[in-house]
Structures are given as structure tokens and as C-alpha cells.
């Protein structure tokens, strides 16, 4: 199965439909009057559809087992067509499109099986996904190209040339996956005054997002959070809370993170770990969802004008 461990759990919804077409009005009448020999077609097929939704991963090899937290199945009659609609919800890392379509398919097939003794020309057609919500695509609600971005690597050893930077480049790659482009990529020593001078300059130059990686460890030489925190005018604690919560699911050491986040003027500043894996996981936890903050900030600026 595809690896989804890097994804963030969110509310996911899907609606799928299928059409069962009968050949005569007498079949519709029998269904509505509950006179089909095999039983109540709507109730039996609904029960089968519910079971199918829950058992999707048992019969489709690449589907992940997931918690099905809501399923609704309904039937609508339109002439000789019976339109089946299946809606499925979950809070998980992957969507429920296949679960909804599998539910619609088995609901339709159950109806076919129950109706064939009284109507030899029953047909199943048009099994399709009508809609889906949740996942990263739903949270890209601000034009990323409008955000001027910078990535700053804080490391004495990298700045001195004794080590190569991997974390900063990993952050840039993750940004690109969310449609963001780092127009500035800079390596600086992990020094209090240098960090402050750098972020002040970038803020004055109109950068919307500045990401620092490195200098967040427990050593007394790691001063990035301290240097940034005293400059922050509007703290956004939920950002790092989300990153720590995400990291805690993957390693207990995430609780040691000293990252900070907030606005310096109109610039959102984030401090990420210096390890490549830590930086990547923080990016996975925050992007593209964090881009929404720029839409909110823009709305606030317009309301104040």
C-alpha cells in the first residue's frame, strides 16, 4: 500500500452514486409496496452497502483500513431509474472515495440480485464519484505565488563550510510541493545578532514567509528561538503546537522541540529543527494548511484600511 504516514488526519467526505434501471413500472411498484419475493429491496440493499463500505479494504488490495465514522445510503426513484447515493465520512489521513463507490456498487448489485426474479432486464450503470472533500487540495485557498518566501539555514558548521546543508534544501523542496518558491536561500551562523539582523532585513523587504532551520536544539549555542521570539509581535502558538503534535505521533523526542512562530510586522516567521527529518516532518505538519493564514492576514489588513 502507498505510504500515508506523512499525511495529516483531517475530516474527509465522499459521495458516490450508482443507477439501477428496471424495465417496467411494475418493478418499481413492487419495490415501493415491499412485494418483492426476496424482501424489502431498499432496506436489504442499504444494509449490504453499509457492510461494503466498512469492508472495502478487505476486497480492494491497495485500500487502507480506516475508521468509517459516518455512512448514509439513500435511494431516489426517477422514472424507471433508482439512483443510489452513498455518503461516507472519516477523520483520517486518506480519503473515502473508494469506500463510497464500493458501497454504491454493492448496494446496486444487491438490488439487482433481489429484482432479477421479477425483472430479467434490470441494469446497473453509471457508478461514479460525485464529490469529495478533505486532504491537502482543499486547503490551498491562497495563491502561493503571491507569497514572497525565504529559507535561512542557521548552522555554524554549515556556514563555516565543514558540513553540507540538507535540511534547508529539504524545506525548499517541501515548499515547492505546496506551490511556494524560496527567492532567498541563505546560510548564516547560529549567532543571536546575525539571526536578528537577517530576519529584520527580510521583514523590511516585504517577505511574507521566512523559515529558519537549525539552532533549535538544547545546546546553549542553539539560539535561534530566543533570537526570533523577542522580535515576534503576534505570536501564533497553534502552529508549533500542531508541529509538535504531529511529531509526537512519530517520535517521543518531538516534545523537546523549541520552535517558535509568529508575525514580525507582516512577515510570518517559523523556526524548524536543523535535522533533515525534523524539518521535513514539520513541513508536512504545517503545509499547505498554514498558507490560509495569509488569506486571513490579508482580510484583516483590508478591514483596517
Phi first, then psi: give them for residue 126, nearest 5 degrees: 50, 60
Specify if 5 maps to a domain. Answer: no
Q: Is 1 inside any structural domain?
A: no
Specify whether 297 is located in the same domain as 148.
yes
Tell me: do 157 and 248 sit in the same domain: yes
Q: How many domains does the chain have?
A: 2
Radius of gyration of the chain (CA): 27
pLDDT at position 84 is: 98
Domain shared by 248 and 154, yes or no: yes
86 SS3 class: strand
> Residue 292: which H helix or E strand, with range?
helix 292-304
CATH of the domain at 245: 3.40.980.10
Identify whether 58 is a catalytic site residue. no
Residue 185: its H or E element: strand 182-188
Q: Which of 104, 135, 166 is the last residue of a domain?
A: 135
What pLDDT, in 10s, does the model give residues 149-195?
Answer: 999 999 999 999 999 999 999 999 999 998 899 999 999 999 999 99
Residues 154 and 278 both lie in one domain: yes
User: Per the domain annotation, does 272 fall within a domain?
Assistant: yes
Are 156 and 125 found together in one domain?
Answer: no
pLDDT for the residue numbered 220? 81
If asked whether residues 104 and 191 sit together in one domain, one would say no
Q: What is the DSSP letter of 36?
A: -
Task: Check: CB of residue 266 under 8 Å from CB of residue 297.
Answer: yes
CA angle 41, 46, 50 (to 5 degrees): 155
Q: Helix, strand, or coil here: 285? A: helix
Comparing CA positions, the residue from 266, 164, 292, 269 lying closest to residue 216 is 269
- Specify the pLDDT at position 244: 93
Domain end point (choices 81, 116, 135): 135
Considering the domain architecture, whether residues 160 and 287 belong to the same structural domain is answered as yes
Phi, then psi, of 264 in degrees rounded to 5 = -110, 105
- Residue at 228 is within a domain: yes
CA distance from start to end of the chain:
51
Shared-domain flag, residues 89 and 214: no
Last residue of a domain, one of 81, 103, 135: 135
d(CA 212, CA 207): 13
Residues 202 and 74 grouped into a single domain: no
Task: Give the pLDDT confidence score for residue 299 in this predicted structure.
Answer: 54
CB 98 within 8 A of CB 61: no
Residue 186: per-residue pLDDT: 97
Question: What percent of the chain clears pLDDT 70, i.e. is strictly above it?
Answer: 94
What CATH number does the domain containing 128 carry?
A: 3.30.70.640
Inter-residue contact 187 to 158 (CB < 8 Å):
yes
150 shares a domain with 106: no
Over residues 191-215, the pLDDT tens digits come to 999 999 999 999 999 999 999 999 8
Residue 15 lies in domain: 10-135
If asked whether residues 129 and 144 sit together in one domain, one would say no
Which segments in the chain show pLDDT lower than 50? 302, 305
Q: Say if residue 186 is in the same domain as residue 130.
A: no
Q: Which of the residues 3, 40, 76, 113 is marked catalytic? A: 113
Amino acid at each position: 500500500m502507498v505510504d500515508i504516514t506523512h499525511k495529516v488526519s483531517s475530516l474527509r467526505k465522499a459521495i458516490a452514486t450508482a443507477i439501477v434501471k428496471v424495465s417496467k413500472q411494475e418493478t418499481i411498484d413492487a419495490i415501493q409496496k415491499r412485494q418483492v419475493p426476496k424482501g424489502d429491496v431498499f432496506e436489504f440493499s442499504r444494509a449490504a452497502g453499509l457492510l461494503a463500505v466498512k469492508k472495502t479494504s478487505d476486497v480492494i488490495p491497495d485500500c487502507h483500513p480506516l475508521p468509517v465514522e459516518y455512512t448514509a445510503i439513500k435511494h431516489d426513484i426517477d422514472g424507471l431509474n433508482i439512483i443510489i447515493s452513498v455518503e461516507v465520512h472519516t477523520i483520517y489521513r486518506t480519503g473515502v472515495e473508494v469506500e463510497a463507490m464500493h458501497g454504491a456498487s454493492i448496494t446496486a448489485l444487491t438490488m439487482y440480485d433481489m429484482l432479477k426474479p421479477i425483472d430479467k432486464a434490470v441494469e446497473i450503470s453509471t457508478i461514479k464519484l460525485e464529490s469529495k472533500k478533505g486532504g491537502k487540495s482543499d486547503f490551498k485557498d491562497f495563491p502561493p505565488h503571491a507569497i514572497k518566501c525565504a529559507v535561512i539555514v542557521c548552522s555554524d558548521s554549515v556556514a563555516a563550510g565543514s558540513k553540507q546543508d540538507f535540511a534547508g534544501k529539504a524545506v525548499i523542496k517541501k515548499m515547492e510541493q505546496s506551490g511556494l518558491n524560496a527567492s532567498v536561500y541563505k546560510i548564516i551562523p547560529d549567532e543571536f545578532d546575525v539571526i536578528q539582523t537577517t530576519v529584520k532585513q527580510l521583514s523590511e523587504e516585504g517577505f511574507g514567509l521566512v523559515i529558519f532551520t537549525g539552532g533549535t536544539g538544547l545546546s546553549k549555542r542553539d539560539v535561534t528561538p530566543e533570537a526570533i521570539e523577542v522580535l515576534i509581535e503576534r505570536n501564533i502558538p497553534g502552529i508549533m503546537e500542531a508541529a509538535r503534535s504531529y511529531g509526537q505521533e512519530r517520535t517521543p523526542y518531538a516534545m523537546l522541540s523549541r520552535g517558535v512562530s509568529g508575525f514580525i510586522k507582516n512577515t510570518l516567521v517559523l523556526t524548524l529543527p536543523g535535522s533533515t527529518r525534523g524539518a521535513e516532518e514539520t513541513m508536512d505538519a504545517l503545509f499547505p494548511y498554514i498558507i490560509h493564514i495569509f488569506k486571513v492576514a490579508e482580510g484583516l489588513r483590508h478591514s483596517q484600511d
